[in-house]
Amino acid sequence: MSHVNSSVGGVLEPILDRYARNPHHLMQILRETQERLDFIPEWAVDYLAEALALARVHIQAVIDFYAFFYDSPRGKYRVLFSDNVTDRMQGNTALLSRMLSKFALDQGQVSSDGLVSIDTTSCTGMCDQGPALLVNNYPVTQLSSQRIDQICELIKAQTPLVEWPSEFFNVEDNILRRDVLLSTEMASSQALKRAIELGREGMLAEMKASEFRGRGGAGFTTAVKWEACKNAPGETRYVVCNADEGEPGTFKDRVLLASFAERVFEGMTIAGYVIGASKGLVYLRAEYRFMLEKLHAICDARRKANLLGKDILGQKGFDFDIEIHMGAGAYVCGEETALIESLEGKPGRPRIRPPFPATHGYLGQPTVVNNVETMAQTTLIAQNGGAWYHGMGTNLSTGTKLLSIAGDCDRPGIYEYTFGVRIDKILEDCGARNAMAVQVGGASGTCLARHEFGRKIAFEDVPTSGAFMIFGNNRDMFEVARNFMHFFKHESCGFCTPCRVGTTLMSDILDKIASGKGTHYEMNELSRVHQLLRTTSHCGLGQSAGRPVYDTLQKFRPSYDRRLKHKDFEPAFDLDDALASAREIMERDDVSAHLGTES
């Protein structure tokens, strides 16, 4: 027994020490525990509950909530195929089947020797170089049958990940169009020095003059958020950088963090300077685990250069430092209050708003939550001034926007445009010749048909967090919508009734239509449930979950209609299917154990 205990402590004590036994760091402690043990065993839960003075059930609830925490063994190699619609278009389904058959496994099953499990996961943000998968949370891109076969061999030989061919883990930036953000040089500290020259009020005035709007999607004016936070009563303030880039089809924050992290951290530091915060937190999605060490190294270098830490750049009392927190597979944590809950070591369920984070955020204190791109763009405003920035884009959408372009085009990748750019111009630039539809803003965004390609990317016309997925003439928009709906069903946090049940209802209805049993009745049902979700859901996830279905119903109706049985109604209940458990008990599956079907 004492032997077991010492090994328990041997694994967990260094982790606990690293996080100062702070229960708010539960997510990080669980992640590191799992990185050591491949899953989080019961004894570890007990030990952590004791050490962190948390209810056991709380730790269990956190493990249960996040897709990438496991309370039972999931294999030494945990393979998750990215299952965004773009991965599907690149052929991930066949590759998944290939791998499953190589190991004679069902999807989600763990091999009997405990070596491997294979499943799917939500978009991993590699749409420009998919199909992609994660193995033990590290991305492998540009999958082909050959690469899959090699991976199978490596797993069978139990080769450690560090010995796998390094090109498997290549993640390219694919920056194909640069405007001011991606082409302006910035020596580290340049923007920060300028902000300090301007002073807190001066920098805020520049932000106001720029009329810059947040790049996470909602488009709230950043200066207003900063000012509200700056003026809110509180003991301490926080800057949070939302790097939980989970919107299917979005990968621009990945590129900013991979190659422009200095700008992101400097933007956070400027925000901290303006609002008077001494701590910044980056919430990095679990799928971007591969960048963690590099980001830590950049923070360390900035500390050495006195760009983080105490009395930054010699300014007495300007203390600011940055911590990086990892998520664990939950799209809903992109919602700012769910993200804060997660930062506090809890399941990521969105809070009731108001109060807003600007007054009651992390640990109840005034908090600014900004997207990665927002933080990076802030440095440009510091460098060149608000008036200069305001000169770009449209009246209501100033500046530039990064787009993550994927799908049916010759040149997928990152494109930076000034706001106001037309959809057809973008399509031309990326070599999309036969586009039939574009999904702008990801699964929760807008589906545009050909007659709308004259519209513009701008908050006042087609707003976007950055995703731009292109569908060619041969694509089936019903299947696109069905993929998105299953995504929302998987990612619904389950807090409120309409989203928890409605996303499942809509997925089930789409599955019924896909199986050829849909009728006009189902079409009305989809609209009805969507209207309920849109108006009564607790947060943006539920409010927008039905949108891809609604949009494609309006614009690509034939892709639904051709699947319908031309009847008014067909029951969803399948009598033969209902007898499956009876057959299982009887160990029968012969023809006479099935009810006859007309077909």
Partner 1 sequence: MENTFIIDGMPIPFEPGQNVLQAALAAGIFIPHLCFYPGLKPNGNCKLCTVIINGRHVSACTTLANSGIEVANNTPELNNKRRLMLQMLFVSGNHFCPGCEKSGNCQLQALAYDLEMMTPHFNHFFPKRTIDASHPEAFLDMNRCITCGLCVQASGEVDKKNIFALSGRGMASHVVINTPSGKLGDSDFAMSDKAARVCPVGAILPKRRGYAIPIGERRYDELPISSQTEFLTTRET
List contacts with partner 1 (CB under 8 A). 46, 55-58, 60-61, 64-67, 330, 347, 352, 489-498, 500-505, 508, 528-529, 532, 535-538, 572-573
Closest to partner 1 by CB, 409 or 505:
505
CB of 66 to partner 1, least distance (A): 8
Pick between residue 158 and residue 531 the one whose CB is nearest to partner 1. Answer: 531
On the question of a cis peptide bond just before residue 354, with omega within 30 degrees of 0, the verdict is yes
With residue 30 as reference, give the H or E element that holds it.
helix 26-37
Query: Least distance (Å) from partner 1 to the CB of residue 439?
Result: 23
DSSP state of 469: E
Nearer to partner 1, 178 or 490 (CB): 490
Distance between CA atoms of 588 and 7, rounded to whole angstroms? 49
SS3 at position 318: coil
- β-pairing, 279-284 vs 238-243, is parallel
Q: Which residue lies nearer to partner 1 by CB, 476 or 508?
A: 508
- Looking up tokens 């069903």, which residue turns up? 489
Pick 429 or 508: Cβ nearer partner 1? 508
**Least CB distance to partner 1 at residue 468 (A):** 28
Measured distance CA(560)–CA(482) in Å, rounded: 11
Q: Which of 208, 199, 221 is nearest to 270 (CA)?
A: 199
User: Could you tell me the smallest distance in angstroms from the CB atom of residue 483 to partner 1?
Assistant: 17
Place of tokens 């209802």: 505
Going from the C-alpha of 526 to that of each of 482, 504, 543, 545, the distances in angstroms are 12, 11, 14, 12
Q: How far is the CB of 363 from partner 1 (least distance, A)?
A: 18
Describe the strand order of the beta sheet including 446-449 as a list of residue ranges: 175-177, 413-418, 400-407, 467-472, 435-440, 446-449
CB of 571 to partner 1, least distance (A): 8
Closer to partner 1 at the Cβ: 266 or 491? Answer: 491
SS3 labels along 415-440: EEEECCCEHHHHHHHCCCCCEEEEEE
Nearer to partner 1 (CB atom), residue 347 or residue 361: 347
Least spacing, CB of residue 58 vs partner 1, in Å: 6
Phi-psi label, residue 483: left if phi above 0, alpha if psi -120 to 50, beta otherwise: alpha
> Which distant-in-sequence residues (6+ apart) come within 8 Å of 504 by Cβ?
489
List all residues 6 or more positions away from 462 whose beta carbon is below 8 Å from its beta carbon.
423, 440, 441, 446, 448, 455, 456
- Give the contacts of 150 (CB within 8 A, at least 6 positions apart): 165, 168
Q: How far is the CB of 63 from partner 1 (least distance, A)?
A: 9
Nearest distance in Å: CB 516, partner 1: 17
DSSP 110: B
Least distance (Å) between residue 528 CB and partner 1: 7
Instruction: Write down the least CB distance from residue 491 to partner 1, Å.
Output: 7
Category of 118 on φ-ψ map: left (φ > 0), alpha (ψ -120 to 50) or beta: beta
Residue 86 contacts by C-beta under 8 Å, 6 or more apart in sequence?
Answer: 123, 127, 130, 248, 249, 406, 407, 469
Is 467 within 8 Å of 445 (Cβ atoms)? yes
The smaller minimum CB distance to partner 1, of residues 305 and 580, is found at 580
Q: Are 377 and 253 a contacting pair, CB within 8 Å?
A: no
| C-beta of 428 vs 511, nearer to partner 1 | 511
Q: Which is nearer to partner 1, 464 or 519 (CB)?
A: 519
Residue 531 and residue 548: Cα distance in Å, rounded? 13
- Output the CA angle 577-583-585, nearest 5 degrees: 130
Nearer residue to partner 1 within complex by CB, 165 or 364? 364
Q: How far is the CB of 338 from partner 1 (least distance, A)?
A: 11
Beta carbon nearer to partner 1, 79 or 338 = 338
